[in-house]
Amino acid sequence: MALFFDSAWFDARLEASGLRRADVAAALGLTAEQIAELWKDQRELSAANVRTLSALLGAPPAEIAERAGVSTPVPKDAPSDALANLHERLDRVERTLAEIKALVLDLLSKPQ
């Protein structure tokens, strides 16, 4: 884990993604001055900030937190976990709807 904010790593990720610090500011809802404080390790990231940067930079939340310094929290529900949970729920809903549709069709096909 990085002791301090790894500004060189973040700058390299931004450059590779074709982004600027201003894009980070917009994504996090911070000012340019607040972003400068992050890069100088004078401001800490929240778990929500880590999640946003993970999506923005295409890096796992744990790596973002690791590169942001020792006190940076890793989000408990990473986007990939949340997406997997959402897919599982959607699958259950679709199976239930298929069962309901089969029951309704069965009821409609029976003479009354």
Q: What is the pLDDT of residues 27-54, one digit of tens each?
A: 999 999 999 999 999 999 999 999 999 9
The per-residue pLDDT for 111 is 83
Percent of the chain with pLDDT over 70: 90
For the purposes of burial, counting CB atoms within 10 Å of the CB of 8, is it exposed (0-12), middle (13-18) or buried (19 or more)? exposed
| One domain for residues 23 and 48 | yes
* Average pLDDT of span 68-74: 83
Q: Is residue 2 included in any domain, yes or no?
A: no
pLDDT band at 56 (very low <50, low <70, confident <90, very high): very high
The per-residue pLDDT for 10 is 97
| One domain for residues 45 and 86 | no
| One domain for residues 61 and 90 | no
Q: Is residue 49 included in any domain, yes or no?
A: yes
Please tell me the pTM assigned to this model: 0.65
Query: For residues 43 and 9, what is the distance between their CA atoms, to the nearest angstrom?
Result: 17
Number of domains observed in the structure of the chain: 2
Mean pLDDT (the chain, rounded): 88
Given 3-state DSSP classes, what are the helix, strand and coil percentages for the chain, each rounded to the nearest 5? 70, 0, 30
For the purposes of burial, counting CB atoms within 10 Å of the CB of 15, is it exposed (0-12), middle (13-18) or buried (19 or more)? exposed
Using CA of residue 68, residue 8, residue 59, residue 52, what is the dihedral sign? positive
Domain that residue 26 falls in: 7-68
| One domain for residues 64 and 11 | yes
